[in-house]
Structure 1
């Protein structure tokens, strides 16, 4: 911490010295963009500001719903404006001057003529601009997605290129589940408890776009081998008052979202609330566990049903104040609450082929309730120097969450009844300093430091029945677990624009991680406090070549780490599923992955293509190893560093407009899984070949001029491999129709999911030495829904870059379901 503060003081002192010589007065440039044919305003057109003799823009905005734009903070000088939008010719203005006598320059009307458009970045979709490919990320424009209305963030992510989502809401990028989820560039404390529930609680109508960073630069936290997903919500920078209301009602799920924005002068305020709930869903399942090690020869089967209820809501308030033309502050307070409950009943048969007297038939009844609530509080300070892009940001964040899990397992025979409570608390404190300096028009440097302090506590209380069948406190299984993780980091990144269309982004990051775990149990004196400290050097490199004005080639290298956190380190045994228990391992090392990728993108007015090939090497691969329980029927899974994995992959995204009103899109990502287990884990590996895994989707959209649009898409994900078995495959078909009216201020839609099949079947299998387990889960998926949206208020444009900086904690391993670490995610 002292090193970080020392670094910040040096940086601030140097910046303060340089700032004294810079001019303090700034101007603005405003105008309106008009369609040459209809004479109507062009909304969401890109407005770029250039110095008079430069070919690279130094600033930019987009037009509002009335075609207006305004660029603030312009220092005196000679400039020109460039306007671009898909379907129109790029328009450049004549050179004009900003000086002390003419600070607020009014351009007036700028007329755009319809024609084939050329963009500075590769846009991977024609007229709808659904997907764009930037130097460090892919951007999916959710507002252009017809079938997204009425769903949740989970539904949206299922269609984002390179991203796959399984039936439980677990997210992966190109097959890697170690993905960081950010909301508006910042984490939410809720994602440290249950990512899938957080995504289900965010209405799709609240999302503006999704950014997928497959090869994060050194600016980002090093955690997350799969990359980063940043969900941008509809928080608009506007003058006056405006807002929107949207929602949906369906046979499977319901949602509601409302937001309001106020902006006057230097003060801005926005508020949002969204909820997502599902009707009770009843699923059926069957499973079998067979053990045969030469001595034991048994088979246990189960058939049952599970009824699930789910509810989630999120609300936020953001306030910002522009102190002057160079300094601004903003603060966001976000609340979240989620609840998941499940009731299950099962019929079980246990067969002992060696001793028929042990055979048994019994019933099981389970009840679980998972609650998660918390808040995130951000406070950010932004200082802009007179030179465009020269900025300093200091950000703080406090994330707090509480996870309460209660469950009861009761059996008519064979197993001992169990009742347990798990209370988990997670507090996370972050300080972050970021500095950006464009040394020249073609060379930009970014540097910064960051510290994250996590304090997590788990209080697990277990009860077992006494002689009378009443639950009593069990001191043997009850425990207290305290866990802390401190991360100190520093980074530097440079971006250089070279001749002949080359752009280079290179950087380095150093992270130091300190972990402490303190397990406590009154009857287990052998438990020991454990500590682990390690440093990681993280280089990054991206080289992009613009082949033509419509195509580019990109080569990237990235290194990422995956730290084992609480779920993987907690040494106490999780017996919430008595037949499939789990246990953490305090001695785990982090996974380290290195990826090299070569990608090509090209587009035209009617056809687009983005294809990439990559190789990823992962050392210290973390997987769960299942073994039979001693003296019991069931398995226990321990997390281990099993060895290495080498993976080759290819991603392809394309779209075509065979007719003016029809757009067909498709995405497929295929990669190999070939683990190389070492040491004792060679004996545990039953899947030792090279396996090809994939996720894909295809969609078609019809867009008519009267505001009517329709879309259909199909998703297909293959099963996922481990060294001991397979996890379920996933596929889904969805149709949607939407009609806009009242000058596009309102819309109504109808969505249909899986109309030809009531249930989805998910099969999984695990095989080890002396045992084999399999299960099939049938989940009701067919649904029908009606969606609506309405936008109100008057909007005029203001600087969208204000308030964009902030804390970005990208370093919690997806799947670490709760601070207590004792009960798995539902």
Structure 2
């Protein structure tokens, strides 16, 4: 079998080699009036008809530039450099040619602007839609100023975040969230905590990839969300300071600093920010229990109030050892603490909804969430043809903990206390992550290349939960609620990815193999389980460019979602005496096959049809015991989950100063299978609309308004009611665009509230939650040092060059 696959690849490569020919290239040079080469000038190739950006780059030290593999058509050239006037060329045609087309030498005229005051502002639109991904440019957003990563994701096209912190794309759960291209390996709850404590001033952009290639980890059935942190590329010493103050029902405030020092071979960078805030949530949960022809209603109201402190830092170095070798090291830390108090009142009502009894639980929680992450990277550019070797070492440690103190008073129908219970619950947890990755790129006949790589990751978790009951002055360990769970996971992966293009056709074929070795141990009960399995994950992409305005794309990928360690831990996490969560050690990974077909018009407007089939779909199941009146949530494998839909991106340039980015996602989720509580067959068609409008006004003023609407949708066994929200912000640039003042109002109409219901088998429940989502935030940032004189970016890939917009034109 292995020989057959190898022979097939070699045979296909030879065939494609003979079939595919190189597209023309464009080359030229930039000089000034003194006949001196202009180095590191920004050169942009745009379409002649609508100025859509095709490629962009920088001139070399001798003033030359080269664009390869340019599709046939009409183009113009734009050149921008500090201290010179902007240059536009006349339209020219790219025809079939075995040699690069040499353009007329460009001579830039000096600008009368004071060089000390001049800047070139690389301003990108807030949302960019590429053929393979959607990009949210966080640092350009007015509304997102001072927001958390979770708040930004909720405003992003197609992204859905539920009340449990689960993140989905286009109605599908199972997103692989990465930081700077690195997996986080965190559970949904821990990931939510990390993103909730990450400020927008740390973020550069968010890449949303719905159908990743074999080069990426196979985890994440609905795709990848890659959060990219800021790192400036300007020469010399530069930096920024920022501060914000927000006021809703309760206040929050933050401040931070970022520094960067760059010379030709070195780039040193670092940053620190501090946030202090207060919050609240109000939750209502109504559950009916049926027994002997009667029903009992548990009507529960919960109020939670707390405060938090977050500290984040990042530091690193890039070292360029000549033109071929580069080395980088990054250390990132997050130190977060939280204190909250919760009061939960539950009224127990009979069939006539008359209160028979009640109980009130007071809960105080001190929690911490600390992490330290280190990355080492080595890059070797073997030759000028594009051969490249990259090695990454990553190490991370997460230290989390919750200390709960419970007091529950039970009352009779006269509201007289009949019993009081005291308990404490300590939940320390640690996660250790180590990974090493090697990637190699081999160009082939100029129009093709092969990428191959290896990766191994090792994850160890230690979760020690102790539950203690107090009877007077006596403390008694509750062995039924105490557990120590250890989990180890090793994933070994290898991939090969083959890409090529010929005139109007482009393709990408990949195959990834991953071996998973996992061991779990429940120490208290001396129970263990082991897993060892190997799976293949193929991917394929085909692009066809009819004309410069019309393009189609077909894609397929196979993905996996492995159970999180908390989902495998059979221990019960109690929320109150009658409500808890429990893991399932028999949970199996789910496998998803994703299919997409898209059409793009004018490189701007895109419509994508998608279908995915998930086998062994991991689904959150709610169970209840009518006799004991307990409700608990666990995760089980259903036979299948199908998702199909259409996604439409509509960027509209309303006027020269008003742009609107709009996304419409219509999808159907169907869950089918047999769970431990019976047959499940749920299906519903839903839609999600997201719109961001940006207005660039005169004298440094800009305005932004964004909103979304999420229709009723099915999420496992729950039916989630519609939700919508509108936010707006205004910004003013001062002091030669160094000082920016932003004011934004979040959730203007206070509608960002969550409501859901569940009715199946013996379960009849409703859930609602509201929090401090309506607030005004003031944000100030100041940039200092040298700016916008670029040096070579050794790490910049093609995706960063797809769209560049200089200044306010």
2:402 is aligned with 1:399: no
Which residue matches 2:360? 363
Give the Cα–Cα distance (whole angstroms) in 2 for the partners of residues 617 and 642 of structure 1. 12
Which residue matches 1:581? 580
Contact 1:750 1:785 in 2 (8 A): yes
For each residue in 1:383-438, what CA deviation from the matched residue of structure 2 results, as whole angstroms up to 9, or x when unmatched?
Answer: 11122421101111111111111112211127844310011111011011000111
Which residue matches 2:493? 489
Distance 1:433 1:83, change over 3 A: farther
Give the Cα–Cα distance (whole angstroms) in 2 for the partners of residues 29 and 268 of structure 1. 30
Give the Cα–Cα distance (whole angstroms) in 1 for the partners of residues 175 and 337 of structure 2. 23
Which residue matches 1:472? 476
Which residue matches 2:408? 411
Which residue matches 1:14? none
Match of 1:346 among 316, 320, 344: 344
Give the Cα–Cα distance (whole angstroms) in 2 for the partners of residues 706 and 534 of structure 1. 61
Give the Cα–Cα distance (whole angstroms) in 1 for the partners of residues 110 and 513 of structure 2. 48
Which residue matches 2:378? 381
Match of 1:626 among 622, 626, 637: 622
For residue 618 of structure 1, report the CA deviation from its aligned partner.
Answer: 0.7
Give the Cα–Cα distance (whole angstroms) in 1 for the partners of residues 755 and 110 of structure 2. 55
Give the Cα–Cα distance (whole angstroms) in 1 for the partners of residues 230 and 184 of structure 2. 17
Matches within 5 A, 1:21-170: 45=42, 47=44, 61=57, 70=60, 83-84=77-78, 109-110=107-108, 129-166=125-162, 170=166
State the TM-score, normalized to the length of structure 2: 0.82
SS at match of 1:143: helix
Give the Cα–Cα distance (whole angstroms) in 2 for the partners of residues 801 and 30 of structure 1. 21
Contact 1:620 1:641 in 2 (8 A): yes
Which residue matches 2:256? 257
For residue 720 of structure 1, report the CA deviation from its aligned partner.
Answer: 3.9
For residue 710 of structure 1, report the CA deviation from its aligned partner.
Answer: 0.7
For residue 684 of structure 1, report the CA deviation from its aligned partner.
Answer: 4.8
Give the Cα–Cα distance (whole angstroms) in 1 for the partners of residues 243 and 408 of structure 2. 42
Distance 1:231 1:84, change over 3 A: farther
For each residue in 1:167-210, what CA deviation from the matched residue of structure 2 results, as whole angstroms up to 9, or x when unmatched?
Answer: 66543211223112222222357778622222232222332222
Which residue matches 2:430? 425
Contact 2:672 2:682 in 1 (8 A): no
For residue 166 of structure 1, report the CA deviation from its aligned partner.
Answer: 4.1
State the TM-score, normalized to the length of structure 1: 0.80
Distance 1:399 1:283, change over 3 A: closer
Match of 2:442 among 437, 442, 448: 437
Give the Cα–Cα distance (whole angstroms) in 1 for the partners of residues 106 and 353 of structure 2. 92
Distance 1:644 1:46, change over 3 A: farther
Which residue matches 2:11? none
Matches within 5 A, 1:481-630: 481-499=485-503, 501-521=504-524, 524=525, 527-603=526-602, 608-629=604-625
Distance 1:550 1:277, change over 3 A: farther
For residue 497 of structure 1, report the CA deviation from its aligned partner.
Answer: 0.7
Contact 2:276 2:308 in 1 (8 A): yes
Match of 1:209 among 202, 205, 208: 205
Give the Cα–Cα distance (whole angstroms) in 2 for the partners of residues 386 and 327 of structure 1. 11
Contact 2:29 2:63 in 1 (8 A): no
Distance 1:404 1:554, change over 3 A: same
Distance 1:288 1:498, change over 3 A: same
Give the Cα–Cα distance (whole angstroms) in 2 for the partners of residues 737 and 512 of structure 1. 50
Distance 1:32 1:338, change over 3 A: farther
Match of 1:762 among 739, 750, 754: 754
SS at match of 2:527: coil
SS at match of 1:218: coil
Which residue matches 2:8? none
Contact 1:379 1:396 in 2 (8 A): yes
SS at match of 1:202: coil
Distance 1:111 1:185, change over 3 A: farther
Give the Cα–Cα distance (whole angstroms) in 2 for the partners of residues 88 and 316 of structure 1. 39
Give the Cα–Cα distance (whole angstroms) in 1 for the partners of residues 712 and 273 of structure 2. 33
Give the Cα–Cα distance (whole angstroms) in 2 for the partners of residues 558 and 77 of structure 1. 31
SS at match of 2:299: strand
Give the Cα–Cα distance (whole angstroms) in 1 for the partners of residues 464 and 281 of structure 2. 31
Which residue matches 1:771? 763
For residue 161 of structure 1, report the CA deviation from its aligned partner.
Answer: 2.4
Matches within 5 A, 1:290-329: 290-294=288-292, 297-329=295-327
For each residue in 1:684-724, what CA deviation from the matched residue of structure 2 results, as whole angstroms up to 9, or x when unmatched?
Answer: 53xx3420123221232221132111111112223442453
Distance 1:575 1:180, change over 3 A: same
Match of 2:780 among 773, 780, 788: 788
Which residue matches 1:747? 740
Which region of structure 1 is more displaced relative to structure 2, 300-309 or 83-92?
83-92
SS at match of 1:366: strand
For residue 443 of structure 1, report the CA deviation from its aligned partner.
Answer: 0.2
Give the Cα–Cα distance (whole angstroms) in 1 for the partners of residues 350 and 186 of structure 2. 45
RMSD: 3.7
2:193 is aligned with 1:197: yes
SS at match of 2:182: coil
Distance 1:346 1:585, change over 3 A: closer
Higher-RCO chain (CA-CA 8 Å, sequence separation at least 6): 1
Contact 2:165 2:188 in 1 (8 A): no
SS at match of 1:359: strand
2:275 is aligned with 1:270: no
Contact 1:749 1:787 in 2 (8 A): yes
Give the Cα–Cα distance (whole angstroms) in 1 for the partners of residues 688 and 274 of structure 2. 29
2:231 is aligned with 1:235: yes
Give the Cα–Cα distance (whole angstroms) in 1 for the partners of residues 760 and 735 of structure 2. 62
SS at match of 2:427: strand
For residue 484 of structure 1, report the CA deviation from its aligned partner.
Answer: 0.5
Which residue matches 1:225? 221
For residue 566 of structure 1, report the CA deviation from its aligned partner.
Answer: 0.5
For residue 644 of structure 1, report the CA deviation from its aligned partner.
Answer: 0.4
Give the Cα–Cα distance (whole angstroms) in 2 for the partners of residues 108 and 572 of structure 1. 70
Contact 1:29 1:72 in 2 (8 A): no
Which residue matches 1:117? none
For residue 627 of structure 1, report the CA deviation from its aligned partner.
Answer: 2.0
Give the Cα–Cα distance (whole angstroms) in 1 for the partners of residues 462 and 190 of structure 2. 16
For residue 136 of structure 1, report the CA deviation from its aligned partner.
Answer: 2.9
User: Which ranges of structure 1 fall in alignment gaps of 5 or more residues?
Assistant: 1-27, 35-40, 50-55, 63-68, 96-106, 114-125, 806-826
2:635 is aligned with 1:639: yes
Distance 1:543 1:211, change over 3 A: same
SS at match of 1:283: strand
SS at match of 1:148: coil
User: Which ranges of structure 2 fall in alignment gaps of 5 or more residues?
Assistant: 1-26, 47-52, 81-85, 95-104, 112-121, 411-418, 799-809
Which region of structure 1 is more displaced relative to structure 2, 163-172 or 646-655?
163-172
Contact 2:174 2:220 in 1 (8 A): yes
SS at match of 1:236: coil
For each residue in 1:206-239, what CA deviation from the matched residue of structure 2 results, as whole angstroms up to 9, or x when unmatched?
Answer: 3222211111000000000111111222202232
Which region of structure 1 is more displaced relative to structure 2, 341-350 or 567-576?
341-350
| Number of residue pairs matched by the alignment | 721
Contact 1:347 1:362 in 2 (8 A): yes
Give the Cα–Cα distance (whole angstroms) in 2 for the partners of residues 94 and 32 of structure 1. 23
Which residue matches 2:691? 698
